[in-house]
Structure 1
Amino acid sequence: MTHNINVRSGVRFGTYYFICLLWGALATPLHAAETQLIHAEPVNAEQKAVEWPYRSHRDSEGYVNSNPEIGPDMSTLGNTLKRYIFDKRIDPVPEKMALAQVDHRDLQNEKEDAFVHRLGHSSVLLKLDGGLWLTDPVFSKRASPVQWFGPKRFHPVPLEVDALPDIEGVIISHDHYDHLDKATIKRIHTKVKHFIVPLGVDKHLIEWGVPGQKIHALDWWQTIDIKNVSLTATPAQHFSGRGLFDRNHTLWASWVIKTDKHSVFFSGDGGYFDGFKLIGERFGPFDLTLMETGAYDRNWADIHMLPEQSVQAHIDLQGKVLMPIHNSTFDLALHPWYEPLERLAASAEKNGVEIATPIIGEKVFLDSPRNNIAWWRNRQSDNRSSQINSSHVNKVTNNKLNVFDQSLTLNK
C-alpha cells in the first residue's frame, strides 16, 4: 500500500512538473520578445541606485547569480523523481493544521502599528508606519499554473481576501508559481497602490491587467521610497521562470524594508551565500528577518537553504528575531512537513537566536516579546515520534518552546 501511494505521489510530481513546463512552452513565446533580458524603467516613484560591489548581472542566457556557476541542476531531476516514487515519505502533509483567523477590521486599527501576520508559505502581511504591505501573496488553492492539479494548500487563507482593506504595497521576490500567483494578483490589484518587483516581473503584472504606473521594477541594490517606507532590492541566490522557454528572463531578489522605527528583511527564495553578510553590513541590524525555511533538498541545496543555514543567514544579517517562512502550506520537497520548524528551532537554540514561530494567521508585534508555542507538534501524525531520535527532540513545557542544545537528528 505504501509503495502504491509513493508511486502515485511520484507520478503526480512528474506530471505536475511536466505541466509547468508545457504551460510555459505554450504561453511564453507570446510575450518572450517583451520579457527577455529587459531592464524595466522605474515608474511613478523616485528610485536611487546604491553603489555596491555588484548589482544584478546577465549573460546571453538571462540573469545570473552573483556566482554565475550557481543555478538549478536539471541533471538531478531523474534522481528526484526516483526518490519521489520509491522513497517512503514521512508525513508529507499534516493531518490537522492550527490556524488563527485574521479579522480584516482589526487591520485598520490605527492604534496598532508594526505587526505581522503569516498567511502561509511566503505570504506575509505587515503593518508598518500605518500602512499595510504584502509579500508574495498566493491565495489560490494550488501553487500551480492550473488549479485542477499541483501542490495543494494544507490550510485555507486565514482572512477574507475580498474584505482586505487598501494595501500600500505588494512586494514580490520572483516569478515562481508559489510566489507569484496570477489569480491572486488579478483579484487584489485594485486594492493595491504599489507593486514593488524585481526587474522583468513587471511584464507579468502588466499582462494580467495591473496598471503600469502602479509597478516599480528594481535591480539589486536599488531603493525606492514610498511615503515613509524605504524598500531596497537585494541579491538572492536563486533563479526564475514560469515555463520551458523563460528561464532567468526575470530577476529574483530579497528585500530590505525600513521605516524610521523598524527594519525588516524578507529573504524570498535562495541558497545560503555570502550576500547575506554584505546585506547585514550595509543595512543591518534588522528587527525581524523573514527567512526561507522549507522546500529544501540535497539535490537543490544551492538554491534553497537548509534550516541551519537560515539561522546562519539571520546571524549574518545581524537580525534580532527570526521568523521562518516558506513552510507549512505546500508540499514542495521530500522532507516531513514539520521538519523545517524542528530543525530551525534546534539550531536557533544552539546559536542563541530568538525566533518567532506563530501559527498561521497569528499576529506578531515587532516591539513586544512573545512566547513561542511548538504548535506543529500537536498537529502531526502518530508515526512521527518513531522517526526522530527521541534524545534530540525539542521539549514542550507549559506550551513554551524549550530546545536542547543539540542538533536535531532525523533517522533516514
Structure 2
Amino acid sequence: MINKYFPLPLCILLASCASQNNVNRLEPTKDIKYKVTEGYTHQFANTYKMPEDYPYTCKENCYPKSQDIHCENDMERCQYVGKNPNLSITKGNTFNVRWLGHASFSVTTPTGETILIDPVTGQFDWPVDWAFVHLAGGFYRTEPSAYSKQTLEDTQAVVYSHIHYDHFNKSDIENIGNHPTYLTPLNFADYFPTGGYNIVEMPWFSKYDIGNTQVHFVPAHHFSSRIVVPMITSDDDETLWGGWVFESEGRKLFFAGDTGYSGHFKDIHQQYGDMDVCLIPIASYHHEKHGKWYRNVHLTPEDALIAADELNCGVMVPWGHGNMSWKMGDHTSHSALFRLLHMKEELNSRTPLFILNEGEQAEF
C-alpha cells in the first residue's frame, strides 16, 4: 500500500528510475567527421560531398512494362511473379532473410542468431502520426503484419540505421521488449523509451558481437532529423546514420540503410571485401520533384545497381518499394521496381537480383 505521505507521482518516478536503460557507447576507431557551423562541432557529416554527377541517370523510357510484375492498377498494388535466380549456396551456411516491408527485415545468420533490422510496423510515432494525416494532408501506409511471437522470442539483437520515423519507431521497441540487445548509431539512447533496454551506440567501422555473428556499423550518405510537430524538427544531424554488415561463418550480409550514392560503397568494400548478400534501397529518389538534394541522400534504382557492383554482391535484394511503402519514389508503390528491372538490362549489371514480395523470405 502507498503511504499517504509518499505521493503517487513520486512512486511512478522512482519506478521508472529503477528501469533506466543501459547504454554502452563504443569508442571510434577512425576519425568522425562533423559539420562546422558557427563554431559548433556536434553535428555529424557525410564522408563525401554531394556528387557533381552520377555514373548513370535514366532520363526517358525508364518504366517499361514487365510481365514479371502483376498490378491491380498502373504500377500500384503489385506482386512480383518473375523467376528469381538459382543461387549456388551451401545448405546450413546461409542467411535466412524475411522482408516485412519498407526497410524492415528479420535476418537469421548462418550461426543461428536472429536480428531485426529497422523494425517499423506502424507509420509514425504519436502525435506526429496523427498530425501527419489530419493536419498535413498525409495518408496512412498499409501497415505490415507484426512480427510473430516466435520471431520476437528468437530475436537476439535489433539494429537501427538512422532516426527517421520510417526506420525507428518507439512503439515497436516497446512491443519487442528489453530482452534483445539494441545496436544503434551514436547518440540514439536519448530517443528510446525508458524500460531497461540494453543499447550499444556505435560509430562507423566499429564492431559488436551478437553470439557468433560479428555486427559492423558502416557509413551511409544520408542525414538525420526527428520531426516533433509538423515543420519543426529536432536532432538535425546530432545522431549518426549508417548501414550494417553481418559477418558469420565467413559469409557477409550488407544492409545499406537509407543512403545516396557516394564513395562510401567502395570504402566499405575495401574494408570488408565482397558481400554475399546486399539489401539495398531503390525507391526514395523523387529528385525531379524535391530537387538535387533528395537524390544526394537517396539511391535511384540505377545508383543501387552500381553500388551493388562496387560491393561485388553475390545477390542484391531491393527494398523501399511495395504495397506497404510510404511511396517516396515516383509516388506509386512499384514504379521503382519497374525501373530497377529495366536498368538491370540497360546497365548490364553483373549482380543477380532476388525480388521478394513483402512477407516473403529466402535463404542466401
Q: With structure 1 as the length reference, what TM-score do the two structures score?
A: 0.63
**Higher mean Cα deviation, 342-351 or 194-203?**
342-351
Equivalent position of 1:209 in the other structure: 194
Q: Matched residues in 1 for 2:163 and 2:76: separation? A: 27
Amino acid at match of 2:299: M
Equivalent position of 2:338 in the other structure: 342
- After superposition, the C-alpha distances for 1:191-240 in whole angstroms (9 at most, x for unaligned) are x42111000112212xx02425x111001111112221111111111110
Alignment of 1:9-408 (within 5 A): 42=24, 49-51=28-30, 55-59=32-36, 60=40, 62-67=43-48, 94-95=76-77, 114-128=95-109, 129-140=111-122, 142-143=123-124, 145=126, 146-148=128-130, 149=133, 150-157=138-145, 159-160=147-148, 164-190=152-178, 192-205=179-192, 208-211=193-196, 214-243=198-227, 244-298=233-287, 299=291, 300-328=294-322, 329-349=325-345, 350-366=348-364
- After superposition, the C-alpha distances for 1:7-52 in whole angstroms (9 at most, x for unaligned) are xxxxxxxxxxxxxxxxxxxxxxxxxxxxxxxxx9735xxx57545x
- After superposition, the C-alpha distances for 1:307-332 in whole angstroms (9 at most, x for unaligned) are 10001111111211000112212223
Q: Is the alpha carbon distance of 1:301 and 1:242 closer, same or farther for their aligned partners in structure 2, counting shifts above 3 Å?
A: same
Q: Secondary structure at the match of 2:171?
A: helix
Q: Is the alpha carbon distance of 1:166 and 1:41 closer, same or farther for their aligned partners in structure 2, counting shifts above 3 Å?
A: closer
Q: Matched residues in 1 for 2:142 and 2:75: separation? A: 7
Aligned residues: 286
Q: Matched residues in 1 for 2:223 and 2:281: separation? A: 15
Q: Is the alpha carbon distance of 1:66 and 1:183 closer, same or farther for their aligned partners in structure 2, counting shifts above 3 Å?
A: same
Query: Contact 2:222/2:298 (CA < 8 Å) preserved in 1?
Result: yes
Q: Matched residues in 1 for 2:180 and 2:146: separation? A: 22
Q: Secondary structure at the match of 1:164?
A: helix
Deviation at 1:154, TM superposition (A): 3.1
Deviation at 1:113, TM superposition (A): 5.6
Deviation at 1:253, TM superposition (A): 0.8
Equivalent position of 1:88 in the other structure: none
Q: Matched residues in 1 for 2:195 and 2:99: separation? A: 25
Q: Matched residues in 1 for 2:206 and 2:93: separation? A: 30
Q: Secondary structure at the match of 2:47?
A: coil
Q: Secondary structure at the match of 1:62?
A: coil
Query: Contact 2:312/2:351 (CA < 8 Å) preserved in 1?
Result: no
Gaps of 5+ in 1: 1-39, 71-90, 100-110, 367-412
Q: Matched residues in 2 for 1:222 and 1:302: separation? A: 25
Deviation at 1:178, TM superposition (A): 0.2
**Higher mean Cα deviation, 256-265 or 273-282?**
256-265
Deviation at 1:68, TM superposition (A): 5.6
Deviation at 1:58, TM superposition (A): 4.3
Query: Contact 1:256/1:264 (CA < 8 Å) preserved in 2?
Result: yes
Deviation at 1:306, TM superposition (A): 0.6
Once superposed, what is the RMSD of the aligned Cα atoms? 2.7
Q: Is the alpha carbon distance of 1:183 and 1:158 closer, same or farther for their aligned partners in structure 2, counting shifts above 3 Å?
A: closer
Gaps of 5+ in 2: 1-21, 52-72, 82-91, 228-232
Q: Secondary structure at the match of 1:156?
A: coil
Query: Contact 1:144/1:151 (CA < 8 Å) preserved in 2?
Result: no
**Higher mean Cα deviation, 234-243 or 161-170?**
161-170
Query: Contact 1:98/1:360 (CA < 8 Å) preserved in 2?
Result: no
Q: Is the alpha carbon distance of 1:270 and 1:96 closer, same or farther for their aligned partners in structure 2, counting shifts above 3 Å?
A: closer
Q: Is the alpha carbon distance of 1:64 and 1:151 closer, same or farther for their aligned partners in structure 2, counting shifts above 3 Å?
A: farther
Q: Matched residues in 1 for 2:124 and 2:74: separation? A: 16
Amino acid at match of 1:118: W
Amino acid at match of 1:181: N
Identity %: 26
